[in-house]
Structure 1
Amino acid sequence: MNKSEVELKRYIPIVEAIAQTFGKHCEVILHDLTHPQSSVIYVANGHVTGREVGQPFNHLITQVLLSNKFQNDLVANYKTETIDNKVIKSSTALIRNSIGEVIGALCINFDLTHLEIAKDFFGSFSQLEQDSVKEEVELYGNVLDIVDDLIGKIVDKDRVDDMDRSHKLQLVKFMDEKGVFLIKGAIDKVADLLKVSKVTIYSYLDEIRKNNSD
């Protein structure tokens, strides 16, 4: 066992602490970079990517040293993929000896595959389809009778002569919120019942929607 390896073995408890904290989907690898062709000296949860002691490093140059995110001897949260198509979130930190020479690296590989499957499942499960609504819908027969009756009940035509502008505006606001004016002919119906012109109803709606946007 060379001097660098002896020094790096001190990091094994840290490797195990990370692996045991984050569970079986978290692989942690300790590299001795003084022996690049067989840099892996310790692996926890090696089943994640299949890494074994005695193997060389893989992504140290391409995704760590050459990364734009490489800073303070660290690149965190870069994406890798295994040969069996696992999606891995990886982080790599370099290890220096007492005189500042890089002698090793600690790599964390977290398997996101199960999370991706869960995300897809919950995304599909929670997806809601929203129907598009036309500006005006034409209704016929009993449905139109029901809507006409509903408008009449909202307006309460027996009291129209006693209503001031504010009261009429509130009624129009309520009907607008409930979608009454999406129905073809509703503006004419409401104008007749409130004893105002269609232009007045349009002005009420403009005022209401402007206030809502403000």
Structure 2
Amino acid sequence: MRKQKIVRTAEQQLLLDQLKNVAEGLGQTLAPFCEVVVHDLLDPAHAIAAIHNKLSGRDVGGPATELGLARIGDAAYPAIVANYANSFADGRQAKSTSIGVKDSSGQYVAALCINVDLTMFHGLQAMFGQFSRIGAGTAPQESLDPAGADGIRRRIDDYAARLSSTPRTLKAGERRALIEELREAGCLEVRRAMEIIAQHLGISRATVYSYAK
């Protein structure tokens, strides 16, 4: 089926083109931890007009999000929705900001969306926490309860911080040692543990299983 031709005014096309330029500049500046997307709200079935730093795995031509559809249906919808909790398809936590753009008639024609991957920042937070930690004794402070997926992710962040690294920049040998540490802590017994570990490290489940052998 041929894509239906979308008719835009000269003003609407200019706004969309200028927004693409803004997105490209932001994408270059905020790489690699920030995805920047331009949504064409006049073509909701193929709304993604530009995408930079594709953290979500989406492509140009993808459909509008629920927020985009809400804007299309309501000209009174807030122009700026900032710093709301979001997540990528693989479970990584994100925070997002969406900025709607109207033409001179008051119709929403486009939106600029910024999706920040918080994984790296959580790793840095753990690293700084490790650096500034002061203890009276030499015994490590830890919890014996893996506490599910969040517990596994925290343990991975803490491990990476001890190496002055982040989960996704760990070397193969460091990842093997991490898996052994998680095994000793009982984390591999948690439901979907291998999938959770793979997603947080940015590697395949097959690789995690090979480390666990």
TM-score between the two structures when normalised by the length of structure 1: 0.52
What aligned pairs does 1:15-26 form with structure 2 within 5 A after superposition?
Answer: 15-26=23-34
CA deviation digits over 1:31-76, x for unaligned, max 9?
A: 1112212211111112x111211111224169x86xxxx9851011
Structure 2: 5+ residue stretches without partners: 1-5, 138-213
Which residue of structure 2 aligns with residue 2 of structure 1?
7
Which residue of structure 1 aligns with residue 67 of structure 2?
60
What aligned pairs does 1:142-157 form with structure 2 within 5 A after superposition?
Answer: none
Output the CA distance in 2 between the equivalents of 1:86 and 1:33.
26
Output the CA distance in 2 between the equivalents of 1:127 and 1:57.
45
Q: In the alignment, is residue 96 of structure 1 matched against residue 102 of structure 2?
A: yes
Which residue of structure 1 aligns with residue 92 of structure 2?
86
Identical-pair percentage: 31
Output the CA distance in 2 between the equivalents of 1:123 and 1:17.
33
Which residue of structure 1 aligns with residue 43 of structure 2?
35
Output the CA distance in 1 between the equivalents of 2:78 and 2:65.
20
TM-score between the two structures when normalised by the length of structure 2: 0.52
Deviation of 1:130 after TM superposition, in Å, equals 4.7
Runs of 4+ in 1 over 6 A off after TM superposition: none
Structure 1: 5+ residue stretches without partners: 132-214
Output the CA distance in 1 between the equivalents of 2:107 and 2:65.
20
Output the CA distance in 2 between the equivalents of 1:83 and 1:58.
13
Alignment length (residue pairs): 125
Output the CA distance in 1 between the equivalents of 2:57 and 2:106.
31
Pick the structure with greater CA Rg.
1
Output the CA distance in 2 between the equivalents of 1:6 and 1:105.
13
Partner amino acid, structure 2, of 1:37: A
Cα RMSD for the two superposed structures: 2.6
SS at 1:106 equivalent? strand
Q: 1:93 to 1:20 in 2, by over 3 A?
A: same
Output the CA distance in 2 between the equivalents of 1:2 and 1:17.
27
Output the CA distance in 1 between the equivalents of 2:25 and 2:133.
39
